[in-house]
Amino acid sequence: MRILQLHSNFIVYTPVQKEIQIAEETEKEETRVEEVVVLFTAVEEGDSADLSKKAIDDARAFLGKQKTNRILIYPFAHLSSNLSNPNEALRIIKAMEAYAKEKGIETYRAPFGWNKQFTVSIKGHPLAEMARSYAPETAAEAKAVGEAKKEEEPVSAALKAEDKMQSFWHVLQTDGSLVPVEEFKFKGHSNLQKFAHYEIKKARTVTQIPPHVSLMKKLEIADYEPGSDPGNLRWYPKGRMIKSLLEQYVTMRMNQYGAMEVETPIMYDFNHPSLSSYLNRFPARQYVLKSEDKELFLRFAACFGQFLMAHDAQFSYKQMPVKLYELTRYSFRREKSGEVVGLKRLRAFTMPDCHAFCIDLEQAKKEFLIRFNICLEVLNNIGLTKDDYEIAMRFTRGFYEENQEFLAELAKTFGKPLLAEVWNERFFYFVLKWDLNFIDNQNKAAALSTDQIDVENAKRYGITYVDEKGEKQHPLILHCSPSGAIERDVYALLEKAYREQMQGKAPMLPLWLSPTQVRLIPISDKYRNEVEEIAHKIESACIRVDIDDSASTLQRKIREAEQEWVPYIAVIGEKELESGNLSVRERGVKGAQQKMTVDELVAKLEAVIAGKPFKPLPLPRNLSKRPVFHG
């Protein structure tokens, strides 16, 4: 049984339509409950009434601490992919309700088996959001879960420790000083406040579908793949092109940085001595599979392959830092069912991964700052500014005391305060880590760029370099993803576009990532040849151009181009062909249409996309020849 517990000011919900045959009868009326603890509940295979009693007992203890006595049991199947059959789930939900009332709790319950629309206002205290999980405790109950549950994926010691270790949260100011988060005045830093709230709660379960999900479908970028495991998506031609351009850009920037591109396997021996040790130091769940006499796992980063490669390589202090880079397609993490959503959190993702092998901490810090600036530059060129994200930095108190000046330089480079997670002692393999987090429209965060100073793995993997005395030493290792997962970059761009739309602006992608950069709309079929010639001229300048030769009206063609977020639309008729001046609508620019020649239009676009990679149009140039991938 999985429960998302929200201490709420209020919740309002309305049944919309039945989802299953045994859905309870109810009126399609709005219900509002004030000052309530909402228990979003998913009943899983093998759950029993005893588990539901344990859940209510825990909720009752929470109610006592908060001096309230009202709950709403809200059936919510989206928290799990291992659901009980509906009849059994309803029986347990009803038992849960009855037990709560028996214990004197004022109890409400949302109807079972319905798709419901809801709005919830969550209180701001640290315990307002809590995720709970209950599993069968007796042998008989465990057996009822079935053989599949016996094959639970391995959970690393680091992942277990992450739930138990104590964090002290501060704000690192640009002068290097640390202010406890509860004492920091967040005025002017609302995004940082949202991020701090999200990070400290560590509540990752999704309760509402984020806006980018409908946009990725509507724009024919990506969609869920029902024939695969959740968190593995299908990418349509437009989305594949966007993703490919991002991959090319990040790889190009890593090449400029001096990283050597490599390729490594996607699966490794679970019992390899170095790997098995590392798995327990990395907070990620693995996919595990068996092949003959070996137990293998799918990689969750490029670390393994690059470390094994570095173990076999020979290099000296004169060549350091040595930089290796790989764009993994794919890395795999067995994310929790209730946390997998859209492009934000996937189980298979594309991760640019760059490791630098450094002589000592001084060289590592110097390289760390270079890479920090590269990451900020990469995200800016992708289309994300410092207003869109916040940074979390993680370190021990000892590291802060010894390196306060360096941490202050990082904060000063960023130009605004950072969230700092401070530990009394080091548990993970790094002494310093930062991650840059996009804040979305649900006030949740997703990590993009990151870097770490790793002090353990060189020794674990037997990686050495030769120092100036001819002796072998273990290097420090920097782990950097300059952009974070490519899929998350698309998520962030779509969420940003939606936010701008809510502010009255035209939603759009950066020009260099727009599948169609220019759309030509001939007023009549008789201008087809001339329009084809114009398209060819624009296309020859490495600009993606298409032609709407459909049978729709002119106004509908313009409207559809706007709905596709096409940046430049040119309507072409006799007047435009005679004058040589196109009537161009530029997305996001209000006012009269611009008059410009084809050469002027090309020059305008070339100035914006200069230095970015290019791919040709991912679909037939004529709209009449295109399939529709999403209705």
Q: Write the DSSP string, 219-274.
A: TTSEEE-TTS-TT-EEE-HHHHHHHHHHHHHHHHHHHHHTPEE----SEEETT-HH
Percentage of the chain beyond pLDDT 70 is: 93
Q: Enumerate residues 6+ apart whose C-beta is below 8 A from 593.
A: 583, 584, 585
Phi/psi of residue 35, each to 5°? 45, 70
Domains of the chain and CATH, by start? 2-152 (3.50.80.10), 212-495 (3.30.930.10), 511-625 (3.40.50.800)
Letter for the amino acid at 385?
T
**Would you state the structure tokens that stand for residue 319, as one six-digit string?**
């060549």
What are 294's strand-pairing partners? 291
DSSP letter (8 states) at residue 338: G
pLDDT at 155: 55
**Alpha helices in 425-573, H assignment, sequence order:** 457-460, 486-502, 528-539, 554-563
CA–CA gap between residue 75 and residue 440 (Å, rounded): 26
Residue 153 CA: distances (Å) to CA of 43, 49, 276, 339, 371: 20, 26, 14, 16, 34
Q: Give the C-alpha separation, 454 to 433, whole Å.
A: 9
Give the pLDDT band (50/70/90) at residue 65.
confident
pLDDT for the residue 147: 42
575-627 per-position pLDDT tens digit: 999 999 999 999 999 877 899 999 999 999 999 999 999 999 999 999 999 99
pTM for the whole thing? 0.75
Q: Look at residue 187 and tell me whether its pLDDT is greater than 60.
A: yes
SS3 208: coil
Per-residue pLDDT tens for 112-145?
999 899 999 998 776 788 888 887 644 443 344 3
- Give residue 51's pLDDT: 86
- Amino acid identity, position 207: T
Winning range, highest mean pLDDT, from 48-52, 228-232, 238-242: 238-242
- Nearby residues of 39 by Cβ (< 8 Å), 6 or more positions away: 3, 4, 5, 55, 59, 71, 72, 73, 74
Euclidean distance between CA atoms 457 and 455, whole angstroms: 6
Asked if 478 contacts 355 with a C-beta cutoff of 8 angstroms, the reply is yes
Cβ burial, residue 440 (10 Å; 0-12/13-18/19+): buried
The answer to whether the peptide bond before residue 515 is cis (omega within 30 degrees of 0) is no
pLDDT digits (tens, 9 = 90+) for 480-491: 999 999 999 999
Closest CA to 382 of 477, 522, 488: 488
Confidence check: pLDDT of 553 > 50: yes
Q: What is the 3-state secondary structure (H, E, C) of 69-136?
A: CEEEEEECHHHCCCECCHHHHHHHHHHHHHHHHHCCCEEEECCCCEEEEEEEEECCCCCCEEEEECCC
Does the pLDDT at position 152 exceed 60?
no
- State how far the Cα of 246 lies from the Cα of 375, in Å rounded to an integer: 14
What is the C-alpha separation between 316 and 471, in angstroms, rounded?
10
